[in-house]
Structure 1
Amino acid sequence: MSEISRRGALGAGAGIAAATALGATGTAGASSAEPAKTTTPPYVFPLVKSAPVVHDGGTLRGAHEKNFPVLAGQQGSVYLVHLDPGGVREPHWHPSAWELSYIISGKADWSILGTHEDGSYHNQVFSASTGELVFAPQGFFHYFANASTTEGLDVLVMFNTSTGEPNDDIGIVGTLNSLPREILAASFGVPVSAFAAIPKDLKPVVITRRR
């Protein structure tokens, strides 16, 4: 082979090698530039993005053992409650859980009724604002309401149960309507007619608004 032919062959070989190297580099670069596929870990729940349960007066979003399986058997659940101006969380109690509520934004009016060591009922009426925690002991009757007529109220509510609401929630509407009118009248010391206007409906209200 002549010197010129040898040089041409070497040059062509070098060109092919360089092109191959560039091609490999380009392919590698394109591959590394692709976004990595991500999956949500089982320990993360998109609470704010989850579908809300809409009520007349506000919304409720929750993470519990049914929609966040990692909570199964862990005795824990959490809810994001939004109350519109004038919104009210139905008066209720939890037979098997305490309730710890953190005020994210707004101001809430509270009432908590429970028995105490001296055998009497104590009803605490108070307000809580942004950044404050409120604790309702297990079995204590309570409610909270948006104190504002112009601004919304957002509350993060935590329970030491994995059961979803309202399966651990007994509301005042269902409670009253589960009793005969004459029993209610006797208990309150008023005529039966005093309860005539109360709808006979056992379904939970959960969230409503002032009328």
Structure 2
Amino acid sequence: MAMTSRTSILKFFSLLICSLAIAKMAIAGDPDILTDFMAPPNGTVDGNFFTYTGMRVILQDEPKNFTVLKATSAEFPALNGQSVSYAVLFFTPGTINPPHTHPRSAELLFLVGGTLEVGFVDTKNNLFTQTLQSGDMFVFPKGLVHFQYNADSENPAIAISAFGSASAGTVSIPSTLFATNIDDNILALSFKTDVATVQKLKASFAPKP
């Protein structure tokens, strides 16, 4: 009886420790660092290291298509360990940022100019939408499918998005499904359609010659 009791207690604590570890992983963002910043291994650290100028282009030349400029750890290494990143989104009239997710961060969008139709779908398949005016903010919860659309056929819109990760990641739903090698039959069954329709969709996502 004593051995059985001890085994039960050990199992309980094992499960408890595993549960705590899983919970910790679930709420964790970017790993904490033990220094002020992460310096490059073989580089000079001065004011230039902490400066990013890649957004200047959008102020100098108005894009002719929907454009996203990112400042993540990939483009701006000083962000490593800082749990923050930005994106500037320029929507020409009638353009869309297709349904996508950011697996490692929520997104806080600030509309600088124009109007935007935005929305996301939660894990219960509830759709939340809003029409944003200049000066409005909207939050897209972490990991949920969301979109932005400039329904104005004449005027552009510009927005700035902040992320609570130096590398939030972006998973584009259309590209993930139709620009990869997922089997045609699997997609046809998933979308309750035929293989010919799936192949037509895949062709529209194929690289232009």
The aligned residue for residue 14 of structure 1 is none
Give per-residue Cα distances to partners, 1:82-119, cap 9 Å, x unaligned.
1111111121101111111000001001121121xxxx
SS at match of 1:110: strand
Q: Distance in 2 between matches of 1:49 and 1:163?
A: 21
2:94 to 66, 71, 86: 86
1:133 to 123, 130, 137: 137
Q: Distance in 1 between matches of 2:147 and 2:200?
A: 23
Q: Which amino acid aligns with 2:108?
A: L
Tell whether the 8 Å contact from 1:61 to 1:79 is kept in structure 2 after alignment.
yes
Q: Distance in 2 between matches of 1:162 and 1:46?
A: 17
The aligned residue for residue 77 of structure 1 is 85
Shift of 1:41: 5.7
The aligned residue for residue 102 of structure 1 is 110
TM-score w.r.t. structure 2 length? 0.66
Q: Which amino acid aligns with 1:86?
A: G
Structure 2 residue 152 is the aligned partner of structure 1 residue 148 = yes
Considering only aligned residues, what root-mean-square deviation do their CA atoms show, in Å?
2.8
SS at match of 1:197: helix
Give runs of ≥4 in structure 1 deviating > 3 Å.
39-48, 200-204
Q: Which amino acid aligns with 1:45?
A: Y
State percent identity of aligned pairs: 22
- Unaligned segments of structure 1, at least 5 residues: 1-38, 205-211
Tell whether the 8 Å contact from 1:64 to 1:163 is kept in structure 2 after alignment.
yes
Ranked by relative contact order (alpha carbons within 8 Å, sequence separation 6 or more), the top structure is 1
Shift of 1:70: 2.5
Structure 2 residue 174 is the aligned partner of structure 1 residue 170 = no
If each structure's strand is expressed as a fraction of its own residues, which one has the higher value? 1
Q: Distance in 2 between matches of 1:193 and 1:42?
A: 51
Q: What does residue range 1-211 of structure 1 map to in structure 2 within 5 Å?
A: 40=47, 42-46=49-53, 48-50=55-57, 57-115=65-123, 120-163=124-167, 168-177=169-178, 178=180, 179-199=182-202
SS at match of 1:147: coil
In structure 2, relative to structure 1, the CA distance for the partners of 1:163 and 1:202 (3 Å cut) is farther
- Unaligned segments of structure 2, at least 5 residues: 1-45
* Total equivalences in the alignment: 158
SS at match of 2:56: coil
Moved more, 137-146 or 58-67: 58-67
Structure having the higher Rg: 1
SS at match of 1:121: coil
Q: Distance in 1 between matches of 2:190 and 2:159?
A: 34
Q: Distance in 2 between matches of 1:112 and 1:152?
A: 22
Shift of 1:62: 2.3
Q: Which amino acid aligns with 2:115?
A: K
Q: Distance in 1 between matches of 2:159 and 2:150?
A: 10
